[in-house]
């Protein structure tokens, strides 16, 4: 989770960039502890509904029940808690399940879902999920990663490079890859301001770096922050689960509506409308504030006044 340790490391990065004063760091460090208390830790592991899903929306079913000659599309989901679907109460609401059934309907073909995503995973740990996925080589892979990378103590560029290495490996093996880039952490209300603005700046910078490197590696990048942030900002009660950090069933459904066309297109089977693309200026982009400017403003506010 994006807990206090993650937030503190974000503050260290911000302090390096902009020179946080002791008072400013103390305030932001206190805000990180507050956010951890409000968000809390997950009560349960994510649900699982891996297996073969059918075009009629049913599943998972045993492979032995498939019609003779029916060969499922192998679809693997990798990444962090957002990929795993943490926050939903029913298996049918898992993003992997929704996507597998959507793919099955679009392709009129069974889809075998394998979820390797792990709660708390960072880009440093993604390679082991690729190893697991390649045991039964998938035809299509979805990766959602980035929200936990702040805990890795690595620069944004290196986090993106690690993701690119995994994408390159999969694409080189003949796998079609779609990546949902880092979401906008500034939409998480339990993170107070100005810490939330720092989290937003970091997550949007990572999302941009991920998009560039994924596309250069031959994958298909979906900018989740640009495409979903406006919905999560304006409808937080509906789009977040009770922890106000992970998406709710409605939040995941919105993400699936954006990801499914790109997944179909990645394997050459999309016949719907135009693919979702990032607007020139999204709500998330309009809300960006450079970290140095935020830190300088905070330092001015907390600077002791001379009597």
Q: Is 246 a catalytic residue?
A: yes
Per annotation, catalytic residue among 81, 176, 229, 248: 81
Taking residue 154's Cβ as centre, other Cβ atoms within 10 Å add up to 17
Side-chain-side CA neighbours of residue 17 (13 Å)? 18
* Joined tokens for residue 156: 């944004």
Q: What is the DSSP string of 9-23?
A: HHHHHHHHHH---HH
In angstroms, the Cα distances linking 62 to 4, 57, 111, 215, 268 are: 42, 15, 12, 36, 27
Q: Is 112 a catalytic residue?
A: no
Q: Is 21 a catalytic residue?
A: no
Per annotation, catalytic residue among 166, 220, 246, 282: 246
The CA R_g of the chain, rounded to the nearest whole Å, is: 20
Phi-psi region of 293 (alpha: psi -120 to 50; beta: other; left: phi over 0): alpha
Per annotation, catalytic residue among 50, 149, 226, 243: 243
- State residue 154 phi and psi, 5-degree precision: -105, 150
DSSP-derived 3-state class of residue 178: strand
In angstroms, the Cα distances linking 127 to 66, 131, 133 are: 32, 6, 10
The residue among 44, 35, 47 whose CA lies nearest residue 2 is 35
Catalytic residues: 81, 243, 246
């Amino acid at each position: 989770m994006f807990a206090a340790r993650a937030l503190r490391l974000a503050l260290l990065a911000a302090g390096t960039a902009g020179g946080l004063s002791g008072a400013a760091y103390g305030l932001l460090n206190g805000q990180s502890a507050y956010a951890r208390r409000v968000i809390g830790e997950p009560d349960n592991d994510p649900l699982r509904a891996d297996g073969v899903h059918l075009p009629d929306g049913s599943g998972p079913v045993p492979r032995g029940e498939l019609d003779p000659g029916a060969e499922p599309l192998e679809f693997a989901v990798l990444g962090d808690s957002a990929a795993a679907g943490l926050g939903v109460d029913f298996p049918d609401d898992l993003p992997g399940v929704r996507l597998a059934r959507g793919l099955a309907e679009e392709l009129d073909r069974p889809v075998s879902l394998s979820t390797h995503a792990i709660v708390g995973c960072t880009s440093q740990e993604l390679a082991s999920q690729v190893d697991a996925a390649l045991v039964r080589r998938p035809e299509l892979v979805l990766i959602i990663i980035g929200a936990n990378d702040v805990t890795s103590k690595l620069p944004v560029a290196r986090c993106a490079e690690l993701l690119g290495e995994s994408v390159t490996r999969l694409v080189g093996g003949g796998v079609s890859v779609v990546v949902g880039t880092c979401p906008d952490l500034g939409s998480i209300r339990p993170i107070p301001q100005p810490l939330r603005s720092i989290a937003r700046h970091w997550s949007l910078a990572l999302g941009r770096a991920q998009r560039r490197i994924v596309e250069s590696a031959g994958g298909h990048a979906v900018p989740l922050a640009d495409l979903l942030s406006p919905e999560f900002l304006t409808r937080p009660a509906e789009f977040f689960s009770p922890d106000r950090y992970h998406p709710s069933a409605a939040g995941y459904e919105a993400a699936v509506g954006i990801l499914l066309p790109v997944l179909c297109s990645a394997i050459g089977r999309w016949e719907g409308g135009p693919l979702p693309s990032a607007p020139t200026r999204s709500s998330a982009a309009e809300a960006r504030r450079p970290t140095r400017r935020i830190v300088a403003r905070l330092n001015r506010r907390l600077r002791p006044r001379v009597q």
